[in-house]
A = this chain, B = another copy of it.
Amino acid sequence: MNADIYPTPAEEIKAWDHEADVVIAGYGIAGAAAAVEAAEAGADVLVVERTGGWGGAAAMAGGFIYLGGGTGLQKACGFDDSVDNMAAFLNVAMGPGADENRIAYYCAGSVEHFDWLVRCGVPFKPVFWGEPGWEPPADEGLMYTGGENAFPFNTIAKPAPRGHVPQMANKRAGEASAGYMLMKPLVDTATSRGVRAVYDVHATSLVIQSDGRIAGLVARQYGKSIAVRARRGVVLASGSFAYNDAMVAQYAPRIAGRPAASIEQHDGQGIRMAQAVGADLAHMDATEVAFLIDPQQTVRGILVNGRGQRYVPEDTYSGRIGQLTLYHQDDTAYLIIDGDAQDEAMAATSATPFLKRPATWVCETVAELEREIGLPAGSLQATVAAYNDAAARGEDPLLHKKSEWCKPIGTPVGAIDLRASCGGFTLGGLQTTLDAEVLHVSGDPIPGLYAAGRCIAGLAAWGYASGVSLGDGSFYGRRAGRAAAKN
């Protein structure tokens, strides 16, 4: 039960504990971007943050920001990209169900958004990292993070890397994450523009006028209820519902019990507060899915499902492999990899050596391995025979793994048990306009209410690419701040 969620009629508020033109709930990436832009637009801005400091999930993230269309970093690294090319990729990679208008708008503004981040002081090192991996191993600034250069995407749009990573002060020493190096300059910029912040303040419900306009929010601070007035607008930027067990069970049951790359504060409260005033939702079943193995291993073997069949090119984005494994293969996968390939993978440079996994089974023959795993008789043998036959020619007619990774599987042959190796965070949330206005189920915006970040249904409908959350959150967060300030 969550009885605090009911909206409070404005006439019941006797005194406001805080007031501002624009009140932002949550000081993660969307809140920080909204704060900077609202202040730039001349608004008096107050951020209410439930934890003891700014940062949110963003500050702990790998820090990818998905940008393209020819950013300065892409050019500096020698890559061509265009707005149309980027949109062509996202329209397929973010679906089914991706919003073409939202994607088009995002792509058109992507170069300007990169420049804005740089102006705010976010550092990017113009070095491309081209090996398989979840993240660059050091402070390289650009990487493929969505399978752009893998099938089928490499037939749909010209491949370009779009994962932009802020440069870390000293990653190897663990001093700061790339996400921190994104958040710190944005918060500093906001502060320099006069943005105020109060911490340990947990927004619980909205204050609504009799005409339906949102006038502020009610929050809890140190066990006490406080009222915060928003003269122009409230921006919800309080994150996903990945840690709300009831919501996950109702909306995204397959990810239940497997939250990853999220923080416990992502409890869905922002979504609930808006639902309580009739806000609409979208894509609540969609999730990012991490696949917990090092991509340097995956690419050197073949992935098979519980029927011993291949189902995904092993050189694509690991998050895509995760989605296809969790949702389409019943969370069941085995990586078949021979001794030489496993040795190579273990020796390869990686940002995530802790995800390098030993073989669960090692056998002299594929037939024996098939029995050990418990796959249907003959299934794995047929799969490996077909793969090896084509791989000897550098081909993969079934799934189009790139030629450089096609190599027959020899002996000894091992398998890594990748059942229940998926985890992730939710992507669904409030339905908003391109100006970040929260939509009522009537289809009309709810006056005075804006939202951005992982509490909205953004670019990602079902698919995902690393960097979409921070990209979407910062881009549409800025829109939210500007729209609220002008309201």
Residues of A within 8 A of B (CB): 1-6, 95-97, 212, 246, 249-251, 253-254, 256, 272, 275-278, 280-285, 307, 309-311, 327-329, 376-379, 382, 385-386, 389-390, 397-399, 431, 440-444, 457, 461-462
Contacts and interface: CB of A to CB of B under 8 A. Distances in A.
A320 B400 CA distance: 29
B253 A97 contact: yes
A443 B386 contact: no
A443 B6 CA distance: 11
A250 B285 CA distance: 10
Contacts of A307: 309-311, 398-399
Contact of A1 (B378, B385, B390, B444): B444
A16 to B, nearest CB: 23
Contacts of A431: 250
Q: Which 7 A-B pairs have the closest CB atoms?
A: A97-B253, A285-B285, A250-B282, A1-B443, A328-B328, A376-B397, A276-B278
Contacts of A276: 278, 440-442
A185 to B, nearest CB: 35
A278 B280 contact: no
B457 A272 contact: no
Most chain B CB within 10 A, of A212, A250, A281, A328, is at: A250
A115 to B, nearest CB: 33
B379 A386 contact: yes
Given A246-B443, A275-B441, A309-B309, A96 B386 contact: no
Contacts of A462: 253
15 contacts: A2-B441, A3-B444, A246-B443, A253-B283, A253-B461, A275-B278, A275-B280, A276-B440, A281-B281, A284-B285, A307-B398, A307-B399, A376-B398, A377-B390, A382-B386
A442 B205 CA distance: 11
A153 to B, nearest CB: 15
A440 B96 CA distance: 29
Contacts of A377: 390, 397
Contact of A253 (B2, B95, B212): B95
A90 to B, nearest CB: 15
Nearest to A2: B442
Contacts of A280: 250, 275
Nearest to A250: B282
A329 B441 CA distance: 32
Contacts of A379: 386, 397-398
A371 to B, nearest CB: 12
A11 to B, nearest CB: 11
